[in-house]
Amino acid sequence: MKKYDLVVIGAGPGGTPAAMAAAQFGKSVLLVDKRDAPGGECLFEGCIPSKVLENAANRFEIFKEMKAFHIDVDGKEQIHWEAVLEDKKQILKRRSMGALKQVERFPNLEFRQGTARFTDTHTIDVDGEKIAFDHAIIATGAAAFLPPFEGKGVKNAWTNAEVFEKTELPEEITFIGAGAISCELVQMFNKLGTKCHMLERGERILKHIDEESAMVVQEKMIREGIDVQLNVTFGKIEGEEGAFSVSYTQDGEAKVLETPYLLIATGRAANVEGLGLETVGVDFDRHGIHVDETLQTTQENIYAVGDCTVGPKFAHWATYEAGIAIHNIFAPMKHKTDMSKLSWVLFSDPQIASVGLSEADAQKQGMEVSVERYDYAVDARAQLDKAEEGFLKFVIEKKSGIIRGIQIVSEDASSLSGEASLIVANELKAMDVMKTIHPHPTLTESFGKLAQQIFFKSMMQPRR
C-alpha cells in the first residue's frame, strides 16, 4: 500500500495551496479531486465564471451611460452571448491548466483525479485503491443547497452551476433567494436586458450584510426595473425549463408567478457526503465539518479548510486557512484563525466591500464602538465618474481608538478593499490613516478624508 505524509481531498482554493505548501516543506503529498484539473467550484462554477459574465454585462451597460457623458452611439448595441461563454470557457481552461502546471512542478506532489473516501483514520480509498497517510486535509468545498420546497419543479431549476452553461441568453428569469449569488446574477442579467424577478422570504435582500449597505443595492435594483418581492412564503414549484410555475403568498394574498427559467440560490451545503467521515469519527452537519481554531477536526490527524467547514465560505478564506492548517500539521507552534480581520467583496452594483467587524458584529461581542461615515456624493472622483452612490464607514473601538471594521459601498469598492484590509489587519487608528498621502482625484482619498473628519471631530470634543 502506498503511503503519503499528507493526503488532501479537494483541489480548490483551499486544497491546492495546502498541497503545494506541504510539498515545499519536503513532504510527500497526494492531492485528489473529482475533476481532471485543480480549481474547485470557485474556478469552474463560482467566482471566475460569474465575473466573466459580470464584466461583459458591465461593459454592455456602458452604452446606456454614454449620454450622461454627452456621447452618442450610433446603432443598436448587441451582446454576443455565445462569444461571452466561449471567453469564459477559455479563461477557465487557462487557469485550470496553469494550476495543474504549478502542481506538477513538485516531484513529491501527485495529483490524481478520483473519488476519495476514508476507511480508517490513516487510510483512504480512491476508486478502489487503498492509500495510507499520516495526516489528511479535507477541502471538498460546498454546493448549492435546495430547500425542501413542494412540487416537482425544484429538481428542474438552475443553480449557480447550471446557469453558466446555457448557450442562449434568457429573456426572463426568476431568482429564489436574495443572497450574494442571486444579487450578483440578477443585476448582471438585468443589465443584459433579461426581465428579472426575485422572490425572498425575508424583509430585505442580503440579510447577513450590513443593512445600510444592502439597502443601497436593493433600492437600485428596484429603480432599474428588477421585480423584487419580499416577505414571501413559498408554496409549490412546478414545471420544467421553459415553463415554471411558482406559487407563494405575500401579505396574506395567494399569488402565482409564471416564468420560463428559475434559479434557486438559497444557501450552500458542505460537500461531505460519501467521504466516510462517520467511519473515522469526524463530526459534521449540513453546515460543514466541525473544526477548532487550529482547523483540526475531532480526529487529531485530520484537518479541514474552506467551504466544507462550519464558517465563512470564501475562496480567499480557504486559501488563508490552508496556510494555517499546513503550519499546524508540520510546524511545532500552533496558529489560530482570526475571523476579526476577514475581508470580502460582493460584486453587486454598487459593489459592497467589508473588512473586519460591522457595527452589528461589534454589538454582538459587547464592544463599544463609534461609526464614522464619508459620503461619496461629496467626493471629487465619484462626481467625475457620475458614481456618487455609496459611502465609506469606519467602525472604531471607543476604548482603544482602533479601526475594527470598514464597510465600503461604491462602484469600485473591490479596488478599495485592499487598503481597508491593511488598515484593519494592522489595527490602525484614524491618526495612522491620516498620515498617508492619497493621490487626487481618486476614491482612495476617502480614507484620508474620513480619517481627517474623525481627527477634527475629536479635537472639538471637550477635554476631561
User: How do residues 362-396 score in pLDDT, each as one tens digit?
Assistant: 999 999 999 999 999 999 999 998 889 999 999 99
**What pLDDT was estimated at residue 157?**
94
Q: Tell me the angle at which helices 81-104 and 15-24 cross, rounded to the nearest 10 degrees.
A: 20
What is the maximum alpha-carbon separation in the chain? 75
In the predicted structure, residue 226 carries a pLDDT above the cut 60: yes
**Mean pLDDT of the 211-232 span:** 96
Specify whether the CB–CB gap between 429 and 403 falls below 8 A.
yes
132 pLDDT band (50/70/90 cuts)?
very high
75 pLDDT band (50/70/90 cuts)?
low
Task: Spell out the domains of the chain, with CATH numbers in brackets.
Answer: 2-143+269-337 (3.50.50.60), 154-266 (3.50.50.60), 340-460 (3.30.390.30)
Specify whether the CB–CB gap between 326 and 5 falls below 8 A.
no
Per residue in 301-339, pLDDT (tens digit) is 999 999 999 989 999 999 999 999 999 999 989 999 999
Per residue in 108-129, pLDDT (tens digit) is 999 999 999 999 999 999 999 9
Specify whether the CB–CB gap between 204 and 191 falls below 8 A.
no
**Mean pLDDT of the 39-43 span:** 76
Q: How many CA atoms lie within 13 A of 153 on its CB side?
A: 23
Separation of alpha carbons 168 and 464, rounded Å: 67
Separation of alpha carbons 184 and 189, rounded Å: 9
43 pLDDT band (50/70/90 cuts)?
low
Which residue in 366, 360, 305, 341 sits closest to 428, CA to CA?
341
Per residue in 91-111, pLDDT (tens digit) is 888 888 888 898 889 999 999
C-alpha cell belonging to residue 75: 446603432
Q: What is the DSSP letter of 215?
A: H
Query: Across the strands, what pairs with 140?
Result: none
Q: How many CB atoms lie within 10 A of CB 421?
A: 18
Specify whether the CB–CB gap between 134 and 5 falls below 8 A.
yes
Query: Across the strands, what pairs with 407?
Result: 354, 393
b/e 141-157 (16+ beta carbons within 10 angstroms → b): bbbbbbeebebebbebb
- What global pTM score does this model have? 0.92
**What pLDDT was estimated at residue 64?**
76
